[in-house]
């Protein structure tokens, strides 16, 4: 009877691991209750869910500004599943990789010694709401978890919401890792089997899928939109770009988007301007036609819409979209870049 009772209690305690958030007030619904430190504020305007989020700002100086909370790790916990939503605005990087908006998990033993630390989130630049999630095996000897939310010796704005820390068993850990690996494999198969399309043309996911030198700006106070900014202080080529595929049999391609100029001073040549350009190739390098300019801007302008339709050049299998400061100075803003291919 005692053995049955023991296993019954053990099964209840293990099953409860996957249900309880070890962090108190992880959604900041009761303001900053249960959190230590005075570097954060409650933000009722920008939140992922509920009524509030936590915001940390720093515009002058490069101090560590953060809050933290310590939670006990239940017995029989094999791993922790930690997730948190983040949003950022103009966070500058630094010499160290940790100079960012960070969420850190620190494992502590019974005498409060740090056993290990892992970054759950490490955010720079301007980014929309994004979920940061990790599965972490609890180090041997760890009895407590310290969660730190901070601007780590850098400037900018970081917003946190919906922090969730759940203990899981070894069996659940293995299952979740297998599920993660399966998703990764499926994504790889899908990526390799389908034509690559231009994505994130509205920059809602920062500069994901774009290459080059630029940043994303958030118009949080008005429309809440995001747009790309490409700046140059010298008469050099500075650009962001993205390549994609043209399906076999495609006849027509429509390319459109919005541009805005801020103090763009034209260079020596007429084409030295803020430019929206498309390049057609048959293999990613060999051109099938001359580069085509969709639109260009100089000086200071309001948002301008540009749209062009082309017959797909013979043998074309790829195209590259470039948003460039083409050997001029100033800042080019771009948004809502869209491609439509017609067979």
pLDDT digits (tens, 9 = 90+) for 129-171: 999 999 999 999 999 999 999 999 999 999 999 999 999 999 9
CATH superfamily, domain 13-189, is Galactose-binding domain-like (2.60.120.260)
* Distance (Å, whole) CA 70 – CA 52: 21
Instruction: Read off the pLDDT of each residue in 244-264 and give the average, rounded to a whole number.
Output: 93
170: tokens are 């070894």
pLDDT of 300 reads: 95
Query: How far, CA to CA in Å, does 257 sit from each of 29, 239, 271, 327, 328?
Result: 40, 16, 19, 21, 21
**Can 13-189 and 211-342 be said to share one CATH topology?**
yes
pLDDT of 182 reads: 77
Residues in the chain: 343
* Distance (Å, whole) CA 22 – CA 166: 6
pLDDT of 194 reads: 55
Non-local (6+) Cβ contacts of 86 within 8 A are: 101, 103, 121, 123, 127, 129, 130, 132, 158, 159, 160
pTM of the model: 0.56
Strand partners, 149: 67, 103
Q: Which CATH number fits domain 211-342: 2.60.120.260, 3.40.50.261, 1.10.3720.10, 1.10.510.10?
A: 2.60.120.260
pLDDT digits (tens, 9 = 90+) for 258-304: 999 999 999 888 889 999 999 999 988 899 999 999 999 999 999 99
For the chain, the domains span 13-189, 211-342
pLDDT of 224 reads: 52
* Distance (Å, whole) CA 299 – CA 297: 7
Task: Please give the torsion angle defined by the CA atoms of residues 43, 46, 50 and 55, in that order, rounded to the nearest 10 degrees.
Answer: -40
* Distance (Å, whole) CA 174 – CA 180: 10
Q: 274-291: string of b/e by CB count within 10 Å (b at 16+)? A: bbbbbbbbeeeeeebbee
pLDDT of 343 reads: 77
């Amino acid at each position: 009877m005692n053995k049955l009772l023991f296993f019954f209690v053990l099964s209840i305690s293990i099953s409860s691991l996957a249900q309880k958030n070890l962090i108190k007030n992880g959604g900041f619904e009761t303001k900053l209750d249960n959190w230590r430190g005075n570097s954060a504020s409650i933000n009722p305007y920008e939140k992922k869910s509920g009524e509030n989020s936590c915001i940390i700002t720093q515009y002058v100086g490069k101090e560590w500004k953060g809050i933290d909370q310590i939670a006990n790790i239940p017995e029989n916990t094999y791993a922790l599943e930690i997730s948190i939503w983040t949003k950022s605005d103009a966070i500058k990087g630094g010499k160290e990789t940790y100079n960012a908006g960070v969420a850190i998990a620190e494992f502590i033993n019974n005498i409060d010694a740090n056993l290990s630390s892992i970054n759950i989130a490490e955010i720079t630049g301007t980014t929309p709401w994004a979920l940061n999630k990790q599965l972490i095996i609890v180090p041997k000897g760890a009895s407590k978890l310290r969660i730190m939310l901070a601007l780590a010796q850098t400037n900018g704005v970081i917003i946190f919401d919906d922090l969730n820390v759940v203990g899981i068993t070894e069996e659940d850990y293995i299952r979740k890792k297998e599920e993660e690996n399966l998703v990764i494999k499926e994504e790889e198969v899908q990526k390799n089997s389908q034509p690559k399309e231009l994505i994130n043309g509205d920059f809602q996911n920062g500069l994901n899928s774009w290459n080059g030198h630029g940043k994303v700006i958030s118009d949080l106070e008005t429309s809440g939109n995001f747009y790309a900014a490409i700046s140059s202080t010298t008469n050099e080529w500075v650009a962001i770009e993205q390549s994609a595929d043209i399906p076999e049999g495609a006849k027509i391609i429509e390319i459109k988007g919005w541009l805005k100029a801020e103090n763009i001073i034209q260079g020596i040549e007429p084409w030295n301007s803020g430019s929206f350009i498309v390049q057609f190739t048959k293999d990613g390098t060999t051109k099938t036609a001359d580069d085509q300019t969709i639109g260009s801007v100089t000086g200071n302008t309001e948002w301008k819409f540009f749209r062009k339709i082309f017959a797909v050049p013979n043998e074309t299998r790829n195209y590259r979209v470039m948003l460039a400061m083409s050997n001029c100075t100033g800042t080019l803003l771009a948004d809502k870049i869209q491609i439509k291919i017609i067979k």
